């Protein structure tokens, strides 16, 4: 697959993942704020300490929302600064995981693949949230593919523990197999991805194109 096609696929996938994170945040955001505050208070905390930790949790929420807004507007450096604040001050919370994902996204766009791999590996191995670990593994497979490490990319994309990413994992596996010129296997992986994909997904057109390409080349 051409380099530009790889980048296009990753960026579209990143956009879909960002929307997934936004939806997840809308549903769970206040619960995270409360959870962070409770986690920081500890057993038998004083009221003053409780107020302080709740303020810190709300502050983290503000920084997180700011980070997303900067990224959406294309202000990459400001988004990176916000992410680094979350990593520094809230590393052990869900905010830290999301900040590492943002740093990986920004690094990938700049072609700093080793930095992206480091950030994603941290979330995949350190996060306490299974969904975060699955998302980080998925993105890590994409980035290692872009870096040219096809063996590692295939290892990461080959798993039964896909969580809510039933379409995304076989799609990435198809991309890896396509890069290895295993066209028939790639077409089969894309078929699995299409079967699991929501009918109205913005990814359907690109995924269908990749499947048709793999199928046509594989039949020659």
Q: Is residue 191 a part of any domain in this protein? A: no
Q: In whole angstroms, give the CA distance from residue 190 to residue 194.
A: 6
User: Minimal CA–CA distance to 169: which of 207, 118, 200, 205?
Assistant: 207
**Averaged over 22-47, what is the pLDDT?**
44
For the stretch 131-168, pLDDT in tens is 889 989 999 999 999 899 999 999 999 998 888 889 99
Q: Is residue 173 a part of any domain in this protein? A: no
CATH number at residue 116: 1.25.40
Q: In whole angstroms, give the CA distance from residue 110 to residue 67.
A: 17
Quote the number of domains for the chain.
Answer: 1
Predicted local distance difference test score (pLDDT) of residue 16: 55
Q: What percent of the chain has pLDDT over 70?
A: 72
Residue 8 has pLDDT above 90, yes or no: no
137: exposed, middle or buried (Cβ count in 10 Å: 0-12, 13-18, 19+): buried
User: Minimal CA–CA distance to 146: which of 103, 175, 106, 189?
Assistant: 175
Predicted local distance difference test score (pLDDT) of residue 214: 92
CB 101 within 8 A of CB 66: no
Q: Is residue 41 a part of any domain in this protein? A: yes
Phi-psi region of 132 (alpha: psi -120 to 50; beta: other; left: phi over 0): alpha
Q: Which residue has the tokens 């791999």?
A: 117
Predicted local distance difference test score (pLDDT) of residue 18: 55
- Lowest mean pLDDT, pick from 28-37, 96-105, 118-127, 130-139: 28-37
Q: In whole angstroms, give the CA distance from residue 208 to residue 220.
A: 19
Q: Is residue 172 a part of any domain in this protein? A: no
The parent domain of residue 110 ranges over 3-165
For the stretch 155-214, pLDDT in tens is 999 998 888 889 999 999 999 999 999 999 999 999 999 999 988 988 899 899 999 999
User: Minimal CA–CA distance to 98: which of 125, 120, 74, 69?
Assistant: 120
Q: Is residue 212 a part of any domain in this protein? A: no
Predicted TM-score of the model (pTM): 0.76
Predicted local distance difference test score (pLDDT) of residue 78: 95
Q: Is residue 14 a part of any domain in this protein? A: yes
Q: Is residue 218 a part of any domain in this protein? A: no
Q: In whole angstroms, give the CA distance from residue 78 to residue 80.
A: 5
Q: Is residue 174 a part of any domain in this protein? A: no
CA distances from 14 to 17, 97, 166 (A): 5, 15, 16
């Amino acid at each position: 697959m051409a380099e530009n096609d790889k980048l296009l696929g990753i960026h579209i996938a990143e956009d879909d993942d960002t929307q997934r994170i936004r939806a997840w945040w809308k549903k769970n955001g206040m619960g995270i704020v409360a959870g962070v505050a409770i986690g920081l208070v500890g057993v038998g905390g004083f009221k003053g300490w409780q107020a302080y930790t709740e303020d810190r949790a709300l502050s983290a929420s503000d920084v997180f929302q700011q980070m997303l807004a900067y990224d959406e507007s294309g202000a990459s450096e400001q988004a990176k600064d916000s992410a680094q604040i979350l990593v520094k001050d809230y590393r052990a919370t869900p905010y830290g995981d999301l900040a590492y994902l943002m740093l990986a996204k920004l690094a990938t766009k700049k072609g700093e693949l080793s930095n992206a791999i480091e950030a994603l590996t941290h979330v995949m191995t350190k996060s306490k949230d299974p969904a975060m670990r699955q998302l980080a593994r998925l993105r890590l497979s994409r980035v290692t593919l872009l870096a040219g490490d096809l063996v590692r990319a295939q290892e990461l994309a080959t798993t039964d523990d896909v969580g809510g990413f039933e379409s995304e994992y076989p799609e990435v596996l198809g991309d890896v197999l396509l890069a290895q010129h295993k066209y028939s296997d790639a077409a089969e992986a894309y078929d699995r991805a299409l079967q699991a994909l929501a009918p109205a997904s913005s990814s359907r057109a690109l995924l269908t194109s990749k499947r048709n390409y793999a199928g046509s080349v594989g039949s020659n």
